[in-house]
Amino acid sequence: MVVLMLTACPAGLRGHLTRWLMEIGPGVFVGRVSHRVRDLLWDRVLELAKDGRAVMVYPARNEQGLEYRVHRSSWKPIDVDGLTLMLRPDLDRAPERGAAPVADIRPGWSKASRMRRAATKKPK
């Protein structure tokens, strides 16, 4: 079974995909197609998506039983010891958003750190 998720794509692409797949929600398509048709559909998505994003999940012969294809998405598939995982960017720590890098966080800011410090303090 193939699952294809589109975001901000033209209506013409959605109409083209309904020839082969069923639309079960806005921009979410599912269906069972051959490998050749799946590859041709992905080529069509890349051709017509323009500024939109697309994610395709389909069966594969590996330990997980599936593979991913991603087009213009901030989530990226990465290989970790033979498993494919989706890496989600941490926007809170991104330098372009003005956040402090991890090394610049002052020590002792967490509740656990304050409790540990209070437990080790000797009473006077």
Nearest to 11 by CA among 39, 41, 50: 50
Instruction: Give the pLDDT score at 70.
Output: 95
- The values of phi and psi at residue 13, to 5°, are -65, -45
Confidence of residue 43 (pLDDT cuts 50, 70, 90): very high
Q: Report how far residue 17's alpha carbon sits from residue 124's, in angstroms, rounded to the nearest whole number.
A: 74
Domain limits for position 20: 2-120
List, in sequence order, every residue forming a beta bridge with 30; answer none if it has no partner.
3, 22
pTM (predicted TM-score):
0.70
Contact 99, 92 (CB under 8 A): yes
Per-residue pLDDT tens over the stretch 69-115:
999 988 899 999 889 999 988 766 655 544 444 444 556 667 777 78
What total number of domains does the chain contain?
Answer: 1
Query: Between 67 and 112, where is the model more confident?
Result: 67
> What integer is the mean pLDDT of 50-77?
92
Instruction: Give the pLDDT score at 100.
Output: 44
CATH of the domain at 44: 3.30.70.240
> What integer is the mean pLDDT of 61-65?
92
A 10 A CB-CB count for 17 gives 21
Q: Report how far residue 20's alpha carbon sits from residue 46's, in angstroms, rounded to the nearest whole number.
A: 16
Instruction: Give the pLDDT score at 119.
Output: 81
Confidence of residue 56 (pLDDT cuts 50, 70, 90): very high
